[in-house]
Structure 1
Amino acid sequence: MNQTIKIIIILAFGFVQKTFAQDSSPYSYFGIGTLNSVDNTRNISLGNTGIALEAPDYINSKNPASLTSIGIQNVIFDVSGLLKSNTISSNRGTDRRINGNFTNLGLAMRVSNKLYLAASVQPTTSTDYKFVSTVPIEGTSDTYPITYEGSGGITNLGVSLGYKIDNNWSVGGKVKNNFGTISRVETITTTSELEISRNIRYTGFSYSLGTQFNKYFQKERLLLTLGAIVNFKSNLNAKGETVYTENREYNSSATTKLSSRSSTLPLEIGLGVSVLKNDRYLLSLDYTQSHWNEVKNTVTNEKYYKQDVYGLGFEIRPARKNSPNLSENLIYRFGLNYDKGYYKVNNREINKMEATVGLGILMNKINLNIGYGFGKRGVFTNAAIKENYHMLNISVDFLDRWFIKRYIN
Structure 2
Amino acid sequence: MLARTAGITAFTLSAAAVGAQGNSPYSRFGLGDIAPNTHIVNRGMGGVSIADANQPQDVRYSDRLRVNFSNPASYSSFFGFGQARNPKKLASGRVLLDVGTYLENKTLREPSRADKFTSSDLNISYLQIGIPLRKGWGLAIGLRPLTRVSYMVEDRRRIFNPPAQGGNNIDSVYTEYSGDGGSFLPTIGTGFAIGDLSIGANIGYLFGSREASTVRYFENDTVVYYHGLQRTNSNFGKVYFDFGAQYTIQLNKARGQFLRLGATGNLKQNLNATQRVTIGTFTLDPNTALTDTVYKSSNDRGTIVYPASYSFGVLFGGDLIKPGPEAVEKRNQRWGFWQIGADLVMNKWSQYRYFGASDAVADNMIVRVGGQIRPNLTQAYLSRITYRAGFHAGKDYISAGGNMPLWGVSAGLGVPFGNFSNLTRNQITTVNLAFEYNNRGNNQNPLKENNFRLSLGLNLSDFWFVKRRYD
Give the TM interval when normalised to the shorter protein. Answer: 0.7 to 0.9
Change (3 A) 1:162 1:136: farther
**Quick check: 1:241 aligned with 2:276?**
yes
Q: What amino acid sits opposite 2:267 in the alignment? A: F
Alpha-carbon separation, structure 1, partners of 2:70 and 2:205: 17
Aligned to 1:262, the other structure's residue is in SS state strand
Which piece of structure 1 moves more, 254-263 or 355-364?
Answer: 254-263
Q: Deviations over 1:103-139 (max 9, x none)?
A: 1011111011132100111110001111123689696
Matched residue, 2:74: 66
Alpha-carbon separation, structure 1, partners of 2:24 and 2:97: 31
Q: What amino acid sits opposite 1:359 in the alignment? A: L
| TM-score (structure 1 length as normaliser) | 0.87
In the TM superposition, structure 1's runs of 4+ consecutive aligned residues that sit over 6 Å from their partners are: 135-138
**For the Cα contact (< 8 Å) 1:39–1:104, is it kept in 2?**
no
Identity percentage of aligned residues: 22
Q: Deviations over 1:205-242 (max 9, x none)?
A: 22111111111122775211110112111112221323
Aligned to 1:384, the other structure's residue is in SS state coil
Alpha-carbon separation, structure 2, partners of 1:160 and 1:354: 30
Matched residue, 1:265: 306
**For the Cα contact (< 8 Å) 1:23–1:126, is it kept in 2?**
no
Aligned to 1:78, the other structure's residue is in SS state strand
Q: Deviations over 1:240-297 (max 9, x none)?
A: 3234451245943255316375222211111100000335221110001111122243
Alpha-carbon separation, structure 2, partners of 1:340 and 1:23: 22
Alpha-carbon separation, structure 2, partners of 1:31 and 1:258: 20
Q: What amino acid sits opposite 2:194 in the alignment? A: I
Alpha-carbon separation, structure 2, partners of 1:110 and 1:228: 22
Matched residue, 1:37: 36
Matches within 5 A, 1:161-176: 161-166=190-195, 168-176=196-204
Find 1:370's aligned residue among 433, 437, 460: 433
Aligned to 1:127, the other structure's residue is in SS state strand
Aligned to 2:446, the other structure's residue is in SS state coil
Find 1:101's aligned residue among 108, 123, 126: 123
* Aligned Cα root-mean-square deviation (Å): 2.4
1:42 shift after superposition: 0.6
Stretches of structure 2 lacking an aligned partner (at least 5 in a row): 1-19, 55-63, 81-92, 219-224, 321-336, 419-427
Alpha-carbon separation, structure 1, partners of 2:348 and 2:450: 26
**For the Cα contact (< 8 Å) 1:334–1:357, is it kept in 2?**
yes
Alpha-carbon separation, structure 2, partners of 1:23 and 1:336: 24
Q: What amino acid sits opposite 2:198 in the alignment? A: S
Alpha-carbon separation, structure 2, partners of 1:249 and 1:362: 54
Find 1:88's aligned residue among 108, 111, 117: 108
Q: Deviations over 1:125-164 (max 9, x none)?
A: 0011111236896964657321111111001111110111
**For the Cα contact (< 8 Å) 2:437–2:453, is it kept in 1?**
yes
Matches within 5 A, 1:209-224: 209-218=243-252, 221-224=256-259
Find 2:210's aligned residue among 182, 187, 207: 182
Aligned to 2:258, the other structure's residue is in SS state strand
Q: What amino acid sits opposite 1:189 in the alignment? A: Y
Alpha-carbon separation, structure 2, partners of 1:147 and 1:311: 37
1:22 shift after superposition: 8.5
Matched residue, 1:352: 406
Q: What amino acid sits opposite 1:313 in the alignment? A: G
**For the Cα contact (< 8 Å) 1:313–1:336, is it kept in 2?**
yes
**Quick check: 1:252 aligned with 2:267?**
no
Alpha-carbon separation, structure 2, partners of 1:307 and 1:209: 20
Which piece of structure 1 moves more, 240-249 or 143-152?
Answer: 240-249
Aligned residues: 384
Alpha-carbon separation, structure 2, partners of 1:374 and 1:231: 28
**For the Cα contact (< 8 Å) 1:200–1:260, is it kept in 2?**
no
Aligned to 2:134, the other structure's residue is in SS state coil
**For the Cα contact (< 8 Å) 1:77–1:397, is it kept in 2?**
yes
**For the Cα contact (< 8 Å) 1:281–1:317, is it kept in 2?**
yes
Matched residue, 1:206: 240
Matches within 5 A, 1:18-29: 24-29=23-28
Alpha-carbon separation, structure 2, partners of 1:389 and 1:310: 19
Matched residue, 1:12: none
**Quick check: 1:295 aligned with 2:352?**
yes
**Quick check: 1:340 aligned with 2:385?**
no
**For the Cα contact (< 8 Å) 1:23–1:36, is it kept in 2?**
no
1:304 shift after superposition: 3.1
Change (3 A) 1:338 1:232: same
Alpha-carbon separation, structure 1, partners of 2:187 and 2:412: 26
**Quick check: 1:397 aligned with 2:459?**
yes
Aligned to 1:121, the other structure's residue is in SS state strand
Q: What amino acid sits opposite 1:242 in the alignment? A: V
**Quick check: 1:229 aligned with 2:257?**
no
